[in-house]
A and B are shown apart, each in its own frame.
Chain A
Amino acid sequence: MLALDRLCSAYGRIVALHDVSLAVKTGEIVALVGSNGAGKTTLLRTVSGVQPAASGRILFEGAPIERLEAHVRVARGIAQSPEGRQVFGPLSVADNLALGAYRRRSPHGDTLARVFDLFPVLKEKRHIPAMSLSGGQQQMLAIGRALMAAPKLLLLDEPSLGLAPLLVDQILAAVVRLKAEGMTVLLVEQNASAALAIADRGYVLETGRVVLEGAGAALLADPKVREAYLGL
């Protein structure tokens, strides 16, 4: 579904991604792990088109998309729940979700019902401003908003960041359920053990380069990963 081919991206003279190649196949959860500053967010931003690719290719369903504007990529089927949630604070929960479906021309009542089914608390709080939600609820809203686009590929940037363990479990369970329903997910996490545990495959990013890749379970068992990212 998604293939990155020697992708480079930079902020001015700071090169954040060096020749990154990776693939996400339809129906997979792929985890992208790495320490703070490794370039995970930059990679997702580049895939979404809010950060330009300096060189390399991004293929989505076989077609190059690296020159397309961000809103065109959403229409093609790539949605992102960004790092730090980034909900539309003054707007209601319902409006946040409606904006998630901004690029859809068809009615989306059934998608909304599925989002409320996945995160019932959003239905309860649909009339209140997004900024009055707790951190965990805002995370659910950010994921729900991305789902409202009915994407083919869901990009999740640190959905567990700053959440209590119980909420982390709840969010990751939702990701597993989405996969069971056929969603393809690229999951970025600093919380490597949690992400790799639910992933089919994983990539380890270090200062903008892919240094390891493999099945989720294999990476979890890898001594280098255990030492560097799991603190074991």
Chain B
Amino acid sequence: MAEFLQLVFSGLTVGAVYALVALGFTLIYNASDVINFAQGDFVMIGGMGTVFLAAAGIALPLAALMAIVAAVIVGLLLHRLAIEPARGASPVALIMITIGASIFIKGVAQLVFDKQFHSLPAFSGDAPIALGGATLLPQSLWVMGVALALFVALYLFLEKTLLGKALRATAANRLAARLVGVNVTIILALAFGVSAAIGAIAGVVVTPITLTRYDVGTLFALKGFAAAMVGGMGHPLGAVVGGLLIGLLEAFGAGYISSTYKDAVAFVVILLVLFFLPRGLFGGRTVERV
């Protein structure tokens, strides 16, 4: 029982990060039909940026903030330089562009940073909290708390603000959005900026637990993508449920089978979803263009 609970804790912790990456996928996909495989690299920029800025003597909270801003700038540049010029290209071509952008970002990160693994000190110490026979790291609470706060903030933004409604309107019907006067280019840039911020924040809070390196974005993108697929691409709540589910499956796979195959869980899930549940648990929308 204690072991089970332990696996639940670690599953929910990484799952919360996958959920945030999946939310980033969802937001961009909804606004633009683009599946942004550079989403995981925002996580890396958040973590690596904070590590290197903190190493340069900047206080951790400020370093984190600067790293998040840097990720947002990269997100906006990705939209402006790679996605916007290819407007109207096929979804497959746009996916190729984001994969290319992801490779490019990793290349630059290798030069700007280095090829080593790095970590950050836990925000509230390393003393484990005992809970039902298992233990929970304070940093896990940070990860889950931040993920929850981001999800609530995103929900309020999308449901309650006119700008958020304009984003959903653009997702629902781009032509009609233009006809009511929504500047779709700005909405798409907003989606990329917010997604980058979410990814980078996830990177900051998870780095004390999982370590980071210039290329960790690949696995985060894969798992976030799997989570978004499970939830039904384009469905925010589905992204969160999918993320937690992938995290739990991974933890149980590693705990009860072998940690060697931990990263294969996401692959298997993607294949199963594609075969048996192409619209995901929450029946996300099918790819359609206006």
Contact = CB atoms under 8 A, between A and B. Distances in A.
Interface of A: 48-50, 69-71, 74-75, 79-80, 82, 86-91, 95, 98-100, 102-103, 145-146, 149
B182 A102 contact: yes
Contact of A80 (B172, B173, B179): B179
A100 B165 contact: no
Majority secondary structure of chain B interface residues (helix, strand, loop or mixed): helix
B178 A70 contact: yes
Contacts of A79: 179-180
Contacts of A74: 179-181
Nearest to A72: B181
Given A88-B168, A88-B169, A102 B176 contact: no
- Which of B175, B176, B179, B182 has the most chain A CB atoms inside 10 A of its CB? B179
22 contacts: A48-B178, A50-B175, A50-B179, A71-B182, A74-B179, A74-B180, A79-B179, A82-B179, A86-B175, A86-B176, A87-B176, A88-B169, A89-B172, A91-B168, A91-B169, A95-B165, A99-B165, A99-B166, A99-B182, A102-B162, A103-B180, A146-B179
A91 B165 contact: yes
Given A95-B165, A99-B165, A99-B166, A88 B181 contact: no
A87 B180 CA distance: 11
Interface string B148-185: 00000000000000100110110011011111111100
Contacts of B168: 88, 90-91
Contact of B176 (A71, A82, A90, A149): A82
Contacts, number: 68
Nearest to B182: A102
Top 7 A-B pairs ranked by shortest CB distance?
Answer: A74-B181, A103-B181, A86-B176, A71-B181, A88-B172, A88-B169, A70-B178
Interface of B: 162, 165-166, 168-169, 172-173, 175-183
B180 A69 contact: no
Contact of B180 (A89, A90, A145): A145
Nearest to A155: B179
Given A82-B176, A103-B181, 13 more contacts: A70-B178, A71-B183, A74-B179, A86-B176, A88-B176, A90-B172, A91-B165, A91-B168, A98-B165, A99-B165, A102-B180, A102-B182, A149-B181
A95 B165 CA distance: 7
A187 to B, nearest CB: 16
Contact of A70 (B165, B169, B179): B179
A129 to B, nearest CB: 10
A155 B175 CA distance: 15
B185 to A, nearest CB: 9
A80 B179 CA distance: 6
A46 to B, nearest CB: 13
A114 B121 CA distance: 60
B178 A149 contact: no
Given A99-B165, A102-B162, A102-B166, A91 B182 contact: no
Contacts of A90: 168, 172
B179 A87 contact: no
